């Protein structure tokens, strides 16, 4: 009898917690929905702090991460794209240059003084990346993105781009106007790079 009572209490607690998480996610989707194309936004999952939507033809997923003991939290924007290779650009962090010097990470410069001072670049093809950033429109678009408040990194994959802003700041991460600005900065970079939306629109 005692075990059955405990089980019932635990079940009720889990049910309530799940309901609260669902409602919180729905409210976030309602709040951030106006940043996306009209009628395309939706809650991105029962237990995920995510909102899905479309922006300028790109399929997007915007995720909120709460701070923890090992993570400052923040927000990540994922967009489905078609890109010819992989590359990353990250804000310089303590120790990252040392890791590059001892060969634990690959690091190179793209010959743009401002971006090289601000970011650490890596990629699957150094020559292609240097050629990409030989275009001023690409450099200008990345400068605008990289100097946006709390920008941390951009990771380009053949089928997806991931952009992270950290640490978590609610006035930025859960603000539809701030999200629209972020979406615009990223799509401007994608346009400059010549990366179109993925041919099959799927959630990143």
- Does 23 have pLDDT greater than 50? no
pLDDT exceeds 90 at position 126? no
Q: Which tens digit of pLDDT belongs to each residue from 32-84? A: 889 999 889 887 654 457 899 999 999 999 999 888 888 888 999 999 999 99
Instruction: Give per-residue pLDDT as tens, 136-165.
Output: 999 999 999 999 999 999 999 999 999 999
Instruction: Using the structure block, give the residue that is written with the tokens 């990252």.
Output: 96
Q: Are 118 and 146 in contact (CB under 8 A)?
A: yes
Which pair of tokens denotes residue 8?
């019932």
- pTM of structure: 0.81
Domain boundaries, the chain: 2-193
Report how many helices (DSSP H) and strands (DSSP E) the chain contains, helices first. Answer: 7, 8
Which residue did the predictor score with more confidence, 98 or 132? 132
pLDDT score of 17: 35
């Amino acid at each position: 009898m005692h075990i059955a009572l405990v089980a019932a209490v635990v079940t009720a607690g889990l049910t309530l917690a799940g309901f609260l998480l669902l409602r919180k996610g729905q409210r976030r989707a309602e709040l951030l929905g106006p940043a996306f194309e009209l009628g395309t936004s939706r809650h991105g999952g029962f237990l995920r702090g995510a909102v899905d939507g479309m922006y300028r033809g790109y399929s997007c997923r915007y995720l909120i991460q709460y701070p923890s003991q090992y993570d400052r939290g923040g927000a990540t924007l994922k967009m489905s794209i078609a890109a010819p290779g992989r590359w990353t650009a990250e804000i310089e962090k303590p120790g990252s240059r040392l890791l590059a010097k001892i060969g634990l990470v690959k690091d190179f410069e793209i010959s743009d003084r401002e971006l090289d001072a601000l970011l650490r670049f890596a990629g699957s093809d150094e020559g292609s990346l240097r050629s990409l950033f030989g275009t001023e429109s690409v450099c200008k678009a990345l400068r605008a993105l990289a100097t946006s408040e709390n920008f941390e990194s951009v990771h380009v994959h053949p089928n997806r781009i991931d952009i992270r802003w950290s640490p978590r700041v609610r006035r930025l991460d859960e603000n539809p106007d701030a999200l629209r600005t972020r979406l615009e900065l990223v799509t401007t970079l994608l346009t400059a790079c010549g990366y179109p939306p993925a041919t099959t629109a799927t959630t990143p």
